[in-house]
Amino acid sequence: MKDLEAQLNIEIQKRQKAEQMFGGLDNVLKMLAMGDSLKETLEKLIEYLESKLQGVRCSILLMDNSGQYLLKGAAPSLPKSYCDALDGFLIGPNVGSCGTAAYKNEMVIVDDIETNPLWADFKGLALSHDLKACWSTPIVNIQGKVLGTLCPYFSEPRSPSEDEIQATQFAAYLAGIAIQFKGGEVALKESETRYENLFGQLKSIMEGTSSETGEEFVRSLVYNLALSLGMKYSFLGQFKSESIQTLALWAGDKFEENIDYDVVGTPCEVVVKEQKNCLILQDIQKEFPEDQLLVDLGIQCYLGVPLLDSSGNSFGNLVVMDDKPFADNITAEIILTIFASRAEAEIERRKTEMERLEAKELAEKASRAKSEFLARMSHELRTPMNSILGFTQLLALDNENPLLDYQKENLDRVSSAGNHLLNLISEVLDLSKIESGKSDIDMRTVDLVPIVDNVISISHAIAEQNSVSIKYEKIPEVSYFVEADSLRLKQVVLNLISNSIKYNFTKGSVVVSFEKLMNGNIRLGIRDTGCGISDENKKKIFKPFERFHEDLEAIEGTGIGLAISKQFVELMGGAIGFESAAGEGSFFYVDFPISDKTSLPVQEEKEPSINQSRISENQIKKKVLYVEDVPANVDLVRQILNYRPNIELQAKY
Ligand code: ADP
- State pLDDT tens for residues 217-242: 888 889 888 887 889 999 999 998 88
Task: Output 494 or 419, whichever has higher pLDDT.
Answer: 494
What average pLDDT score do residues 499-523 get? 95
Distance between Cα 528 and ligand 1 center (Å): 12
How sure is the predictor about 11, in pLDDT bands with cuts at 50, 70 and 90?
very low
Determine the Cα–Cα distance for residues 501 and 448; give it in Å rounded to an integer: 21
Distance between Cα 503 and ligand 1 center (Å): 7
How sure is the predictor about 611, in pLDDT bands with cuts at 50, 70 and 90?
very low
pLDDT reading at 211 higher than 70: no
Name the region of 451 (left: φ>0; alpha: ψ -120 to 50; beta: rest). Answer: alpha
Pocket residue to mutate for ligand 1, from 494, 503, 534, 576, most atoms within 8 A of Cβ: 503
How sure is the predictor about 277, in pLDDT bands with cuts at 50, 70 and 90?
confident
What pLDDT score was predicted for residue 610?
Answer: 41
SS3 368: helix
Q: Please, are residues 243 and 261 in contact by the beta-carbon 8 Å criterion?
A: yes
Determine the Cα–Cα distance for residues 541 and 530; give it in Å rounded to an integer: 16
Residue 191 host element (H or E): helix 188-209
Q: What is the overall mean pLDDT for the chain? A: 84
Ligand 1 pocket list (CB less than 6 A): 495, 499-500, 503, 528, 530-533, 541, 546-549, 557-563, 586
Which atom of ligand 1 is found nearest the CA of 547? 14
Which residues contact residue 299 at a Cβ distance below 8 angstroms, ignoring those fewer than 6 apart? 233, 284, 285, 293, 321, 322, 323
What pLDDT score was predicted for residue 615?
Answer: 46
What pLDDT score was predicted for residue 255?
Answer: 94
Pocket residue to mutate for ligand 1, from 529, 547, 560, most atoms within 8 A of Cβ: 547
Determine the Cα–Cα distance for residues 106 and 220; give it in Å rounded to an integer: 35
What pLDDT score was predicted for residue 273?
Answer: 92
Strands (E), 277-334: 278-280, 301-308, 314-322
What pLDDT score was predicted for residue 4?
Answer: 47
What pLDDT score was predicted for residue 197?
Answer: 60
- Domains parsed from the chain with CATH numbers: 1-188 (3.30.450.40), 209-437 (3.30.450.40), 440-602 (3.30.565.10), 610-652 (no CATH)
Q: How far apart are the first and last CA of the chain?
A: 48
1-5, 51-55, 283-287: least confidently modelled range: 1-5
35-44, 62-71, 444-453: least confidently modelled range: 35-44
What average pLDDT score do residues 122-142 get? 90
How sure is the predictor about 20, in pLDDT bands with cuts at 50, 70 and 90?
low
Q: Please, are residues 316 and 236 in contact by the beta-carbon 8 Å criterion?
A: yes
Q: Please, are residues 371 and 432 in contact by the beta-carbon 8 Å criterion?
A: yes
DSSP 67: S
Pocket residue to mutate for ligand 1, from 423, 499, 531, most atoms within 8 A of Cβ: 499
What average pLDDT score do residues 122-135 get? 92
What pLDDT score was predicted for residue 48?
Answer: 82
What average pLDDT score do residues 33-37 get? 56
263-272, 520-529, 621-630: least confidently modelled range: 621-630
Strands (E), 85-213: 89-90, 108-110, 133-140, 146-154
CA distances 625 to 253, 628, 649, Å, are: 77, 10, 6
Q: Please, are residues 113 and 129 in contact by the beta-carbon 8 Å criterion?
A: no
pLDDT reading at 574 higher than 80: yes
Determine the Cα–Cα distance for residues 478 and 205; give it in Å rounded to an integer: 70
DSSP 486: H
Q: Please, are residues 272 and 239 in contact by the beta-carbon 8 Å criterion?
A: yes
Distance between Cα 464 and ligand 1 center (Å): 19
29-43, 51-65, 506-520: least confidently modelled range: 29-43
**Best-predicted range by mean pLDDT (210-224, 321-335, 483-497):** 483-497
pTM over 0.75: no
pLDDT reading at 26 higher than 70: no
* Count of other CB atoms within 10 angstroms of residue 594: 16
Task: List, in sequence order, the alpha helices (H) in 317-404.
Answer: 329-397
